[in-house]
Amino acid sequence: MYIAALQYLYKNFLYVQKFNINRILYKGVFMEEKQNRSNKIAKEMITFFYCLSIVFFISLINSIGAYAETTNEKQKLPETYALILQERGGAQEQINGADIGLKTDSGIKFDNKLLQDSINKLSCSDDGKVVQSGNATLVLVNNNYVISKEVYGNKINKDILYKSIVKAIQNGDTTLNLEAANCYESSEPRFKINSPVVVSARDTLNRYLASKITYNFGGLTQYLDSSIIKDWIGVDSNFNVTIDENMVRNYVDNIANTYASSLGTSIKVSGGDNGNNHSWMINASEETKALIDNIKSGQTISKYPIYTQTSISSYFSNVGDTFVEVDKGKQHLWFYKDGYLVVEGDLVTGNESTGHGTPTGVFYLNSKQRDSVLIGEDYASPVSFWMPFIKNDIGLHDASWRDEFGGEIYKTGGSHGCVNLPYYVAKAIFDNIIPGCPVIVHE
């Protein structure tokens, strides 16, 4: 329309200029000679401005025509125009030109309300489907920790989304990546499935769960494994692995209480080579620390608790971590070496009915000898392993003549004072013990 108007003005301009020139030339024929020079100058000026005006209008028309062409080319969109929205997780939705009243005949125009309605109908705009970003997590599955993948949130900033869609339509874009356009409010997860700190935490937790610890104390056995440890361990918000020391302490206290209720808080042992009284008690504080170290190392061990001194003294703290413990009441023996249980088993101590009960106290192994014959007033008993701890009269040895051990045999059918052992128990002690090792006998 604008081009046609300019062309009309241009035509009329040429007509007027031609009329003026002819008029001047006509008058020039009848003018006097003195006017010739002035007319000549005027004619040259008119011709100059005439040519200049032609150049100006041609340039103006060409310029206007080029702008319109460029504008029309940029604004040219198909009638079926649609803007594809690329969302997190591979999902896609679209804004259809027909749904927002899109028109491009005289520039890009659309109905703003229809566009807002279309945005509100998008799944990514549905607050009920909003998912917040979340870090990778550690999940316990069948007593083994595995990593659960991080979550990328999909909460949309609708203002930014609207502006991004308008800009894309104006540019004639056919796709809009919501991530690249910063349309999401949810930030990217900090800890991901392959983050080194997450992988390290998983491996550490599983090492802790691999621990298998058997406690032996006062004739009792208590087994500790992942079924209990799993409740003690976890990670904080930065994936630092933690052990609940209070829960470990409660577990150790339970052992101590069980031990006390079974044997008494203090077991006095009179007599012995040094003539002192002795007693025991579990050191819950130190044992808690030791147990945590055992778990952190993922150890599979058999151990006895750390004992502490009571109001009298503790023979366990005196004897160290290698000793033989004989419990007459339970008719059971344990042999510890360097803090680890080597062997345990039932036994038979001295006959109580005849006054030959095995003395209680803290003694020390005098010697050890293979293939000996124990001789008394009315017996001569060959043994494979002889380990005396009270002079050369009372000691530990195998007793091949017995078919049973433990129970209440000792009360009426016990030995002459020695500690009778099954062959395998006597052999295990003999192969690992050295003279000077403490032998603790208590009721």
269-299 pLDDT tens trace: 433 333 333 345 677 888 999 999 999 999 9
Is residue 51 annotated as a catalytic residue, yes or no?
no
80-97 pLDDT tens trace: 899 999 998 888 999 999
Q: Which of 192-206, 302-316, 318-332 has the lowest mean pLDDT?
A: 302-316
Q: In the predicted model, what is the mean pLDDT of the chain?
A: 79
Q: Which of 134, 136, 135 has its CA nearest to residue 153?
A: 134
Of the chain, the percentage scoring pLDDT greater than 70 comes to: 73
The reported pLDDT for the residue numbered 251 is 93
The active-site residue out of 278, 332, 397, 442 is: 397
Q: Are strands 82-86 and 175-177 parallel, antiparallel or unpaired?
A: parallel
The active-site residue out of 278, 418, 437, 442 is: 418
The reported pLDDT for the residue numbered 39 is 53
Band of residue 318 on the pLDDT scale cut at 50, 70, 90:
low
The reported pLDDT for the residue numbered 210 is 96
- Where do the H-state alpha helices sit in 210-283? 226-229, 245-263
Q: Which of 7-21, 90-104, 114-128, 413-427 has the lowest mean pLDDT?
A: 7-21
Q: What is the dihedral of CA 286, 334, 224, 235, to 10 degrees?
A: 30
What is the mean pLDDT of the segment spanning 372-398? Answer: 89
Separation of alpha carbons 49 and 63, rounded Å: 21
The reported pLDDT for the residue numbered 59 is 44
DSSP code of residue 129 = G
Please state, in angstroms and as integers, the Cα–Cα distance from residue 29 to each residue in 22, 171, 374, following that order: 11, 64, 170
210-240 pLDDT tens trace: 999 998 765 678 899 999 999 999 999 999 9
Task: Centre a 10 Å sphere on the Cβ of residue 412 and count the other Cβ atoms it contains.
Answer: 10
Band of residue 260 on the pLDDT scale cut at 50, 70, 90:
low
Q: Which of 107, 54, 100, 51 has its CA nearest to residue 76?
A: 107
Rg over alpha carbons for the chain, rounded to the nearest Å, is 52
φ/ψ of 25, rounded to 5, equals -65, -40
Q: CB under 8 Å to 442, separation ≥6 — which residues?
A: 267, 269, 325, 326, 327, 328, 329, 360
Q: Are strands 241-243 and 300-303 parallel, antiparallel or unpaired?
A: unpaired
Separation of alpha carbons 82 and 76, rounded Å: 13
Q: Is 260 helix (H, G, I), strand (E, B) or coil?
A: helix
Q: Tokens 């540019």 belong to which residue?
A: 171
The reported pLDDT for the residue numbered 277 is 34
DSSP code of residue 272 = S
Sign of CA dihedral 251, 252, 257, 259: positive
Q: Which of 105-119, 275-289, 423-437 has the lowest mean pLDDT?
A: 275-289
The reported pLDDT for the residue numbered 231 is 96
The reported pLDDT for the residue numbered 379 is 80
User: Is the CB of residue 224 less than 8 Å from the CB of residue 208?
Assistant: no
Q: Are strands 332-337 and 340-346 parallel, antiparallel or unpaired?
A: antiparallel
Burial 193-226 (b: 16+ CB within 10 A, else e): eebeebeebbebbbebbbbbbebbbbbeeeebeb
Q: Which of 64-73, 148-157, 363-372 has the lowest mean pLDDT?
A: 64-73
> How close are the terminal C-alpha atoms of the chain, in Å?
120
Residue type, 20: N
Q: Is 232 helix (H, G, I), strand (E, B) or coil?
A: coil
In the chain, how long is the greatest CA-to-CA distance? 183
User: Is the CB of residue 142 less than 8 Å from the CB of residue 165?
Assistant: no
Sign of CA dihedral 216, 221, 222, 226: positive
Q: CB under 8 Å to 55, separation ≥6 — which residues?
A: none
Please state, in angstroms and as integers, the Cα–Cα distance from residue 72 to each residue in 10, 65, 69, 107, 402, following that order: 24, 11, 5, 8, 113
To the question of pTM greater than 0.75 for the whole model, the response is no
Q: Are strands 300-303 and 438-442 parallel, antiparallel or unpaired?
A: unpaired
What is the mean pLDDT of the segment spanning 23-33? Answer: 40
Burial 120-155 (b: 16+ CB within 10 A, else e): eebebbeeeeeeebbbbbbeeeeeebebeebbbbbb
DSSP code of residue 348 = B
37-54 pLDDT tens trace: 545 544 555 454 444 454
In 56-187, the DSSP E strands lie at 82-86, 92-96, 137-140, 145-148, 175-177
171-208 pLDDT tens trace: 999 999 998 999 988 677 899 999 999 999 999 999 99
Residue type, 153: G
Band of residue 302 on the pLDDT scale cut at 50, 70, 90:
confident
Band of residue 259 on the pLDDT scale cut at 50, 70, 90:
low
Is residue 437 annotated as a catalytic residue, yes or no?
no
Looking at per-residue confidence, does 260 or 419 come out higher?
419
Looking at per-residue confidence, does 275 or 395 come out higher?
395
Separation of alpha carbons 126 and 420, rounded Å: 81
